[in-house]
Amino acid sequence: MKARVFSGVQPSGNLHIGNYLGALGNWVRMQHDYESIFCIVDLHAVTVFQPPEELRAKILEIAALFLAAGIDPKHSSIMVQSAVPAHAELAWMLTCVTPVGWLERMTQYKAKAAAQQTVGDGLLQYPVLMAADIMLYQAAIVPVGEDQAQHLELTRDIAQRFNSLYGETFVVPQTSLPTVGARIMGLDDPTTKMSKSAAGAGHAVALLDPPDRIRKTIMRATTDSNPAVDFASLGPGVENLMNIFQAYSGWTAEQMRTHFTGMRYGDLKKQVAEMVISHLEPFQQRYRQITSDPGYVAGVLRQGAERVAPIANSTVELVKSRMGLYTEKRGLAPPSQAE
């Protein structure tokens, strides 16, 4: 049996090249070696207010972007988190074994909480729900960008804590980061990661941006006061542009060095922009094709949820009976030795 992969994206804001290079691209490469589940994590998105109509539209858009990226729905399950109630059910049970101090330490919580006037409890619980998403499917591998590595460590801690309290129940998942592109930085500010929720036109290249906007954003990217590429002292802005180029081209470090050493920043930016455009144009064409059939994406999501629900439900059954809770199939009978 193939090991299971699980990963997700929040349907908030516009998906950008950081999301693609950090996560989606890796999913596409990995999908045939594993049993894969790719999730649109809408329950995560509502930790910050989302206008309901926009959220509905965004869920369909993200699913179409998964398909345009090359996720094969015949092989991989593409699903919406809120379509499978077991995500929320398991999250509660995991909340009960998670010390609040573990959650308060999360850097993403601290950053997002600082930007809100009122901090909803969901923002603190976010990583527990993420742990539930992964553990619900007994996923062995979770391909994410570097910003999620801390949440994955927490997931491992929660799985281990549950296993030690109630007996071996959960697979303890491994994080899989791409070798290049695990952390794409903002083009306007290369000291912060490229983020969907960051404001400002020059910050990110969205996957659906037209070519002239992509050119404009990349040509305006922040670099440094050097005139040309010097590998002995790469500033963060130039390094970020190099990472984007290398991740899209698949070039080796040696090829990058030979090609770019001494290149003026203006020429570097032009080459990065053309590399990104050459990948995004066919991607956007596939997206338009996919969305031209209004029922297709909804059908993929329905099928995905139907395929994964039995796995999720049987994990919840097992967890509840391990904890001494009432389950639909067993009532209050304890789990058998074999489970």
Q: What residues make contact with ligand AQP under the rule CB under 6 A? A: 9-10, 12-13, 18-19, 21-23, 144-145, 147-148, 182-184, 193-197
CB of 68 to ligand AQP, least distance (A): 16
CB of 241 to ligand AQP, least distance (A): 14
Amino acid symbol at 56: R
**Marked catalytic residue, from 112, 216, 320, 329:** 112
Question: What is the three-class DSSP state of 42?
Answer: helix
10 Å Cβ neighbour count for 61? 19
Please confirm, yes or no, whether 112 is among the known catalytic residues.
yes
Please confirm, yes or no, whether 196 is among the known catalytic residues.
yes
Residue 94: both structure tokens together: 């995991």
Rounded to the nearest 5°, which phi and psi values hold at 40? -100, 110
Distance CA 203, CA 199 (A): 7
Sheet of 141-143: strand order equals 77-80, 35-40, 4-9, 141-143, 174-176
Please confirm, yes or no, whether 110 is among the known catalytic residues.
no
CB of 84 to ligand AQP, least distance (A): 18
CB of 206 to ligand AQP, least distance (A): 10
Question: What is the three-class DSSP state of 9?
Answer: strand
Distance CA 298, CA 240 (A): 36
CA-angle at 114, arms to 111 and 120, nearest 5°: 100
Amino acid symbol at 142: V
**Marked catalytic residue, from 58, 193, 269, 320:** 193
Closer residue to ligand AQP in complex, CB, 196/270: 196
Closer residue to ligand AQP in complex, CB, 11/320: 11
10 Å Cβ neighbour count for 136? 28
Closer residue to ligand AQP in complex, CB, 36/321: 36
**Marked catalytic residue, from 2, 58, 74, 196:** 196
Closer residue to ligand AQP in complex, CB, 188/317: 188
Strands 174-176 and 35-40: unpaired
Closer residue to ligand AQP in complex, CB, 236/335: 236
Q: Which residue is nearest to ligand AQP (CB)?
A: 22
CB of 292 to ligand AQP, least distance (A): 25
Q: Annotated active-site positions, please?
A: 112, 193, 196
